[in-house]
Amino acid sequence: MSLMQKTVRTDVQATQAYVVAPAQGMVKLDAMENPQGMPAALQDALAEALKTVALNRYPEPKAAALEAALRAHSDIPKAAQVLFGNGSDELIDLIIRACCMPGDVVMSPVPTFVMYAVYSQWSHAQFVGVDLNPDFTLNMPALLKAMSTHQPKVVFLAYPNNPTGVALREAEIVQVVKAAPGLVVVDEAYEAFADASFMSRVLEFPNVLVLRTFSKLGLAGVRLGYAVASSAWAEQIDKVRPPYNVNVLTRTAVEFALTHFEAFEAQAAQLKANRETLREALQSLRNPQLVVEVFDSCANFLLFRLPNAWEVFEGLKKKGILIKYVGKAHPLLADCLRVTVSTDHENQQFLDALKQTLAELAQ
């Protein structure tokens, strides 16, 4: 046994690092990114703002200017506290670390965002997934029973859910919150596309935290997420937050984006319209020889099921179209693919390649 093998945790050695699929030269529709980018009219102004950043100084510890800009352009309750993270991923990790001792339970309906389970593992917490219904709606009786049995410290509710795109009903969230023995995290990563949010009710209950990110709006590269909760929860989670976890370039870029937020809101509205057009196009592929099931989505992606999903995925990749094969992630996702909603042009490239691939597989 080598020194490394004797030193590194056995559970770390037994797993693999998170794999990001190579995408150079591809039409990239696998990661729910906004394909439109920073509006060209704003790029020079952003560059000027970034030129003034003092790279030789550590960031201010509380990001007060960023928080003020965020509050001016969001629905955060005045009495709620805000915590920033290096993407919402870091905040998920911090929440679990702040709440869970080894062996404590973290729970979520599944299939869902994989990092809930990953960060639970690294904190030696036990992740318990509760299967959704076959149509990806919440199995409330099963979830309530599991919470009663396992007494989770943290329950994650993705609203809408990834990779399904399905959104919970607000009444369902309230039912879970009232029954949960610990913290309920309402993860609103796709809020911009959902026309629904639990933010206004975050202080109504003693055990709720709302999580959001700027990644899906068009700022995935700057890596900024934020958590909103009562001062009591924020104070405890802040204790495990690394100092200076959000760098000065990220802060400046997001502050700038918030002053031009209407541009990003317009992009989100366009993607919502494109989502419906793409959904209709995928549904139109259905015929007596081909069953294509497209699931309702309140996010910026669509989940769909069809025969030979892996072969379809590989066929698309050979044609320069990268989407996500999720068929192995959970039994409920068998033969499922997930595609990011993009521009009219990229959506059409995807559809043309899909039709061609299906024709080839039918031969």
Give pLDDT, residue 286. 83
Q: Contact 333/304 with Cβ under 8 angstroms?
A: no
In whole angstroms, give the CA distance from residue 130 to residue 137: 12
Q: How many Å apart are CA 246 and CA 244, to the nearest integer? A: 6
Quote the CA–CA distance of 227 and 209 in Å, as a whole number: 7
Task: Determine the CATH number of domain 54-260.
Answer: 3.40.640.10
| Edge-first strand listing for the sheet containing 183-187 | 81-85, 225-229, 208-213, 183-187, 154-158, 105-110, 126-131
In this structure, what are the phi and psi dihedrals at residue 28, rounded to the nearest 5 degrees?
Answer: -90, 105
Alpha-carbon span 171 to 71, nearest angstrom: 26
Domain ranges (residues) in the chain: 3-38+262-362, 54-260
CA 106 to chain centre: 17
**CA 99, CA 101: separation in Å to the nearest integer?**
7
Nearest to 296 by CA among 161, 188, 128: 161
CATH number for the domain running over 3-38+262-362: 3.90.1150.10
Do 165 and 216 touch, CB atoms closer than 8 A? no
CA distances from 165 to 22, 41, 193, 275, 295 (A): 24, 32, 10, 11, 8
Q: How far apart are CA 314 and CA 160, in angstroms?
A: 28
Strand, coil or helix: 179? helix
Q: In this structure, are residues 138 and 107 in contact, taking their beta carbons and an 8 Å threshold?
A: no
Contact 151, 125 (CB under 8 A): no
What is the pLDDT tens value at each position of the chain, 363 positions in all?
899 999 999 999 999 888 888 888 999 999 999 999 888 889 999 999 999 999 999 999 889 999 999 999 899 999 999 999 999 999 999 999 999 999 999 999 999 999 999 999 999 999 999 999 999 999 999 999 999 999 999 999 999 999 999 999 999 999 999 999 999 999 999 999 998 999 999 999 999 999 999 999 999 999 999 999 999 999 999 999 999 999 999 999 999 999 999 999 999 999 999 999 999 999 999 888 899 999 999 999 999 999 999 999 999 999 999 999 999 999 999 999 999 999 999 999 999 999 999 999 987
pLDDT, residue 360, reads 95
